[in-house]
Structures are given as C-alpha cells and as structure tokens.
C-alpha cells in the first residue's frame, strides 16, 4: 500500500508542476499587439519609387538653370527624399496664401500639383526691382498676389511644368494641361482629402536671400501602376559593371602614347655603293605624291609634307 501511495503522490506532483507551468506561460507577457487597418500599406517611397527619386535628382539640376535667371544670383537646388501623407494632412501644413497649380498629365490617370510659397514669389519680385529679397512683415498678412507677382508666377510655372514634362519623357511621354490654379489651400481640388500623395520637395538656396521650397505632389494611386516601369527605367539607365569596366578601359586606352613616323622615300643602293659613300655624294630619290604616316609597320594616314609655324608638318589628306 505504501508503495502505491507513493506513486500516487508522485503523479500529483507531476500534474501540479505542469499546471503551474501552463499558468506561467498563459500569464507571461506576449509580443506587443499592433493595430492594423485593412487596405493600409507601409509604403516606403525610396524603395518602391526609385525611378521618381532618380527623376528628382535630374529635375533639381535642371531647376537650377530655371531659377537662377529669376533670382539673379548663384543658386543651389537639391531634391529632398520622397515622403507620403494624406492630401488633407499636407494641406493643413500650408499657409493661407500659396500658389497651387494642378496639371493633368495625359495619358496617365492623374496629375501633379506644383506648390510655390508666396514668400518666395515676393522675394523674386524684390530681387527683380533691386530689393534685398528678404521677408517683410506685410508679406505674412497678405491674402492675394499682386499683378506683378501673378505675371512672374505664370512665367515661372510655364518653365517648371515644361521641365517636369521633359523629365517624365524618359519614363512615359506626357502632356501637362493646367486644370486649376489657386492661391488658397481651401479652394484647391486636386484629389480627395483622405487620398495619399507622394511629396517631392526641392529646396532652393540662393547665394543671397532666404531659402525656399518648391513642392510637386503626385497621387499615390497614379504612380503605383507604373512603379515597376519607373524602376526598370532607372536600372536600364544605370551602367552595368561590364559597361562601366569597358568605359574605364576605353578612357585608359585613349591616353596611351603611340609613336608615329613618316617615310619620305625608300631609295635602294648596292652594298658596293654603300661602302664607297662619302660627303658630297648624291643619291637620287623619288618622293611619292602622298607621304604615309606609320604606326609600327601599318599605314594609318597619308598626307603632304609642308611647314607650319616654322616647323615641318604633315597635312593629313586620308585616314585609314
């Protein structure tokens, strides 16, 4: 009896230990639970829109040549890494007075929005009339652009939109048609407020004056169908390792120095004549109409012997 009783107690101890372990596992803190909204996407523009990133770098270089005639000083333009946010969130961060121009990009199903801050436009006008191009207290309280600023904006936007079309040509040939131009963030109708946009900023830093930012917005829904095409275009444009090696080899070979020589005549004399040569002897020679230019034993060109700047020279008449 005592033996069986000991076995019974042993089984109870095992069950007790297993029960306690199960309770400990159940009460042990698990991984943090994160909320997830169906249809949302952890979009990372730098990874999925590398073509647009590359396009931004090209646009920044061209944008400098567009901006400098307006600011009349040396200017640096840099493309800022892409970001995504909802359209209404972006609008909330904008001032009351801002130039917003909506362009349709045909044949794509969507468009682009070009935003230019009012302070930057005012600085351009100041610079044009010989001012300091600095911010003024009055500019912060304005609710509309002046007639001069409207004219300058029209010229600037024409060049910027044309530059954007030219940049898109590498991916998809498009035509930009102005659909709407507003000076208030409350009146623009670009896309639905809760739709996502890709924000492409270009910082403009003139040698004199305050820096500014020109912004281009694209609907994310418009870009998603062409992500692969844009990315492929970037990889196609980028030189492969083999192409880069060939370019380096060609550049190195172009610097190799090759000894060249020319032969005016090839007279032949006997060994007996050669042994009896003395100063004053004349050897008759016949000069060819064209003198060959040789590398090793290969003729690479032919020409005429003459003089240039007091030195003997050859006028190349035929190559190969």
Instruction: Give tens-digit pLDDT for 55-103.
Output: 888 899 899 989 988 888 888 999 999 999 999 999 999 998 999 999 9
Is a pLDDT exceeding 50 seen at residue 235? no
Q: Which residues face 262 on adjacent strands?
A: 293
Homologous superfamily (CATH) for 260-276+286-320:
SpoA-like (2.30.330.10)
Higher pLDDT among residues 301 and 11, named by residue = 301
Is a pLDDT exceeding 80 seen at residue 146? yes
Average pLDDT value over all residues in the chain: 79
Is a pLDDT exceeding 90 seen at residue 204? yes
Residues 6+ apart with CB under 8 A from 302: 290, 291, 292, 293, 316, 317, 318
Q: Which two tokens stand for residue 302?
A: 């032919």
Among 1-10, 53-62, 87-96, 130-139, the range scoring the smallest mean pLDDT is 1-10
What's residue 273's pLDDT?
86
Q: Which strands make up the sheet holding 298-308, listed edge to edge?
A: 261-262, 291-295, 298-308, 311-319
d(CA 226, CA 245): 31
Q: Which two tokens stand for residue 264?
A: 């005016």
At residue 285's C-alpha, the angle toward residues 282 and 290, to 5°, is 150
pLDDT classification of 139: cutoffs 50, 70, 90: low
Residues 6+ apart with CB under 8 A from 137: none
For the segment 20-47, what is each residue's pLDDT rounded down to a tens digit? 565 556 555 555 555 544 444 445 554 5
What's residue 46's pLDDT?
47
**CATH 3.40.1550.10-classified regions of the chain:** 45-240
pLDDT classification of 117: cutoffs 50, 70, 90: very high
Query: Stretch 111-133: mean pLDDT, rounded?
Result: 84
What's residue 45's pLDDT?
54
**CATH 2.30.330.10-classified regions of the chain:** 260-276+286-320
DSSP 295: E
What's residue 31's pLDDT?
54
pLDDT classification of 292: cutoffs 50, 70, 90: confident
Fold of 45-240: Chemotaxis protein chec (3.40.1550)
What's residue 180's pLDDT?
93
Q: Percent of the chain beyond pLDDT 90?
A: 29
Query: Stretch 292-303: mean pLDDT, rounded?
Result: 84
d(CA 311, CA 320): 25
């Amino acid at each position: 009896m005592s033996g069986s009783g000991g076995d019974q107690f042993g089984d109870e101890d095992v069950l007790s230990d297993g029960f306690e372990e199960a309770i400990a596992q159940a009460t042990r803190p698990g991984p943090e639970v994160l909320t997830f909204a169906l249809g949302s996407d952890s979009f990372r523009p730098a990874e999925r829109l590398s073509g647009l990133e590359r396009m931004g770098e090209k646009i920044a270089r061209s944008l400098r040549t567009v901006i400098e005639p307006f600011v009349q000083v040396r200017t640096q333009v840099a493309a800022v890494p892409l970001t995504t946010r909802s359209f209404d969130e972006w609008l909330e961060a904008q001032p009351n007075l801002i130039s917003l121009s909506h362009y349709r990009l045909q044949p794509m199903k969507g468009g682009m929005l070009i935003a230019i801050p009012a302070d930057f436009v005012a600085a351009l006008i100041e610079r044009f009339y010989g001012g300091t191009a600095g911010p003024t207290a009055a500019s912060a309280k304005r609710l509309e652009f002046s007639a001069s600023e409207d004219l300058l904006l029209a010229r600037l936007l024409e060049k910027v939109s044309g530059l954007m079309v030219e940049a898109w040509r590498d991916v998809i040939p498009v035509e930009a048609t102005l659909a709407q131009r507003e000076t208030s963030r409350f009146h623009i109708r670009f896309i639905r407020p809760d739709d996502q946009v890709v924000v492409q900023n270009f910082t403009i830093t003139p040698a004199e004056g305050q820096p500014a930012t020109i912004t281009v917005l694209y609907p994310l829904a418009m870009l998603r169908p062409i992500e692969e095409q844009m990315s492929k275009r970037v990889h196609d444009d980028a030189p492969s390792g083999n192409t880069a090696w060939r370019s380096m080899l060609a550049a190195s070979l172009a610097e190799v120095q090759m000894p060249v020589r020319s032969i005016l005549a090839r007279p032949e004399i006997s060994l007996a004549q050669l042994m009896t040569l003395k100063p004053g002897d004349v050897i008759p020679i016949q000069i060819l109409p064209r003198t060959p230019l040789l590398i090793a034993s290969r003729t690479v060109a032919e020409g005429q012997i003459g003089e240039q700047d007091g030195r003997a020279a050859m006028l190349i008449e035929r190559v190969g």
